[in-house]
Every structure is written in structure tokens, then in C-alpha cells.
Amino acid sequence: MGRTVPTFRMLLDSIIMELGDFRRALRRRDRQVFDRIMDMAREHASASTVAAAVDPMDTIVLSILIEPVTKGRGTGSLEAQPVREL
């Protein structure tokens, strides 16, 4: 018996494919940026899988926003502001 619900990774790949025309319309350098942004979303696909009831685009955008913040740790900009647990 097969799965009735696609995995988040499958859903993400489907969304990226749907954005194919948009990607092709971008300048070459912007296509590279687009690809890096989609890679950021892929980095957090396992966390997005847990939030299956949430709109997939919400978790994709959150994943993309997490990456620069994570990479900015240690610069002092985030250490001054406490993070609120949900």
C-alpha cells in the first residue's frame, strides 16, 4: 500500500517545480540566488514535516528566514535580544 500523503520534501519539490517559470524569468545571477534560497528551505525540511497542518509555504518561508539568523550567530547582533520560546 502506498502513502496517501506526500512527504514534505516531495511537496517542496513540487512547489519549486511550480515556480519554474518564475525562476526562468529571473536574471542568471538571480536564478543562483533563487536556488540558494530553495536550498535553505530544503535544509529545514525535517522540521517542516512535523508541522504538517500548517500551510507549507509558511514553513518554507520560516526555514528561509532561519538560515541567515543561524549564520549570523556569534556576531553579537542576536545575543543582545532574548529569544522567546513558543
What DSSP string runs through 3-38?
A: -SS--HHHHHHHHHHHTHHHHHHS-HHHHHHHHHHH
In a domain, 84, yes or no: no
Judge contact between 11 and 55, C-beta under 8 A: no
Residue ranges making up the domain that contains 36 = 8-70
Q: Which amino acid is at 29?
A: R
CA triplet 68, 74, 79: central angle to 5 degrees? 90
Instruction: Quote the number of domains for the chain.
Output: 1
Q: What is the pLDDT of residue 13?
A: 93
Residues of the chain with pLDDT under 50: 76, 78-80
Judge contact between 49 and 7, C-beta under 8 A: yes
In a domain, 52, yes or no: yes
Q: Is the pTM of this model over 0.85?
A: no
In a domain, 34, yes or no: yes
Q: Which amino acid is at 14?
A: S
